């Protein structure tokens, strides 16, 4: 197939949507498909254009068999709801000339649009309508629902317009994929036909991300003694995670010299967290930049306990992608999840992590105390088994490829039926 992917984030971004889109594109290219990507310059999660990409406007590069067209975009130093809107629309404006040129190239069989931003799909949708291609909208985050639940946008008229536009795009997509059953249910209640929606979870390379010994971890490199109990949060440091609770919990444990809280990552909320920790004069919490991908298994092996935190209002609107890597590494995760959500049910059913109530310091303190006092190997073993059985990159991608082939088969059958009727 000839495939074009639209997405604001892409490799070499180390976390979030860009990482998974890059892995998807490269796997499809490795299977013999022609894959082109229209994307922005890498900036996430630091919210700063990566070295080697600044100072350029439009550019083209080949990354692991994928033709990647980079478009300029506005990246704010301090992220606010308004600046994020400008950021996204600057990308839409910059891809317009590239999108227009695609009409004069050989037709793409399949167009994949990555959401968020949800309104990015308008141009891919118009292309497929005019060229007779298939459109798959892949939903990584329910952006409009999150904006409403997290009160990032308060104007009801604007929110209703955004919901209407989102529904229009989803209804006019040939298929909609998303990363968890909870998000699939959220999409279905937007009156999107269930037969058009399918699961495409964020997968993990279980051969690379695997359990390592403490001697193979980053403890020696980071100057952390092996006897210290490390509680790790790694990933995007954003608003929706409610990460200020980590500093509050670290303050509670500050008298215990053998416990260290590690926060590894970048994001819009990092400076705020560092300020809170500094004002509390905490010595048991340390901040580190993102580790290179090749060091990810060693970073995960550094932790005794992993934290996967979200706010209540983000329940089933986003799926914490870091959990896949933690499970593959055989880590024990303490996960905040609301009862009745997919994430809560997943952990409760499979016993692959410890559940806590979101935004509840007391619940987190209690769970940490129990985890620090008990044998966590049963959780670790089940976590690794679950990843091998359900999240293996090759297995997930093979199922996804079959879905794409089915989309093309249906398209060909419709054309045959149309010709026969004519």
250-286 pLDDT, tens digit each = 999 999 999 999 999 888 788 889 999 999 999 999 9
Map out the domains of the chain with their CATH numbers.
2-202+393-421 (3.40.50.2000), 214-390 (3.40.50.2000)
Peptide bond just before 303 cis, omega within 30 deg: no
Q: Quick check: 412 pLDDT over 80? A: no
Average pLDDT over residues 28-36: 96
With b for 16 or more beta-carbon neighbours within 10 A and e for fewer, the 188-206 pattern comes to eebebeeebbbebbbbbbb
The pLDDT tens digits for 62-116 are 999 999 999 999 999 888 888 989 999 999 999 999 999 999 989 999 999 999 9
pLDDT of the residue at 411: 53
The answer to whether 115 touches 138, Cβ cutoff 8 Å, is: yes
pLDDT of the residue at 236: 82
Q: How confident is the model at residue 417 (pLDDT cuts 50, 70, 90)?
A: very low
DSSP string, 288-350: EPPPPGGGHHHHHHH-SEEEE---GGGTTTB--THHHHHHHTT--EEEE--TTSHHHHHHHHH
The answer to whether 170 touches 192, Cβ cutoff 8 Å, is: yes
* Share above pLDDT 90 across residues of the chain, in percent, rounded to a whole number: 73
Q: Quick check: 337 pLDDT over 70? A: yes
pTM confidence score: 0.86
Average pLDDT over residues 51-58: 87
Average pLDDT over residues 184-197: 93
The pLDDT tens digits for 145-167 are 888 877 777 888 988 899 999 99
Average pLDDT over residues 236-257: 86
What value does the mean pLDDT of the chain take? Answer: 90
Both tokens of 169, joined, read: 């795009």
């Amino acid at each position: 197939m000839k495939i074009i992917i639209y997405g604001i984030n892409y490799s070499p971004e180390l976390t979030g949507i860009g990482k998974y889109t890059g892995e998807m594109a490269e796997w499809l290219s490795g299977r013999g498909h022609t894959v082109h990507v229209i994307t922005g310059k890498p900036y996430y999660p630091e919210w700063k254009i990566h070295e080697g990409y600044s100072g350029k406007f439009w550019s083209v590069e080949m990354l692991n068999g994928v033709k990647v067209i980079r478009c300029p975009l506005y990246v704010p130093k301090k992220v606010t709801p308004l600046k994020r809107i400008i950021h996204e629309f600057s990308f839409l404006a910059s891809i317009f000339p590239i999108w227009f040129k695609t009409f004069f190239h050989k037709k793409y069989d399949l167009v994949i649009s990555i959401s968020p931003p949800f309104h990015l799909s308008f141009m891919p949708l118009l292309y497929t309508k005019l060229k007779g291609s298939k459109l798959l909208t892949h939903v990584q985050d329910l952006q409009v629902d999150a904006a409403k639940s997290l009160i990032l946008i308060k104007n009801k008229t604007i929110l209703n317009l955004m919901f209407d536009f989102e529904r229009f795009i989803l209804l006019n997509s040939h298929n909609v994929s998303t990363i968890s059953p909870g998000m699939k249910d959220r999409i279905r209640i937007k009156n999107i036909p269930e037969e058009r929606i399918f699961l495409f979870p964020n997968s993990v390379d279980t051969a690379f991300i695997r359990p390592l010994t403490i001697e193979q971890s980053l403890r020696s490199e980071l100057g952390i003694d092996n006897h210290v109990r490390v509680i790790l949060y790694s990933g995007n440091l954003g608003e929706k995670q409610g990460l200020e609770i980590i500093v509050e919990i670290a303050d509670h444990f500050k008298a215990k010299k053998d416990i260290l809280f590690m926060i590894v990552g970048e994001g819009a909320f990092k400076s705020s967290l560092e300020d809170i920790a500094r004002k509390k004069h905490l010595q048991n919490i340390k901040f580190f930049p993102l580790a290179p991908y090749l060091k990810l298994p060693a970073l995960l092996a550094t932790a005794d306990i992993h934290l996967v935190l979200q706010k209540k209002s983000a329940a089933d609107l986003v799926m914490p992608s870091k959990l896949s890597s933690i499970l593959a590494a055989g880590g024990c995760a303490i996960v905040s999840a609301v009862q009745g959500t997919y994430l809560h049910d997943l952990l409760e059913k499979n016993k692959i992590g410890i559940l806590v109530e979101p935004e509840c310091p007391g619940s987190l303190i209690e769970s940490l105390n129990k985890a620090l006092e008990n044998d966590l190997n049963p959780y670790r073993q089940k976590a690794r088994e679950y990843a091998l059985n359900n999240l293996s990159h090759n297995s997930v991608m093979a199922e996804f490829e079959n879905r794409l082939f089915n989309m093309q088969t249906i398209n060909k059958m419709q054309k045959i039926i149309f010709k026969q009727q004519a």
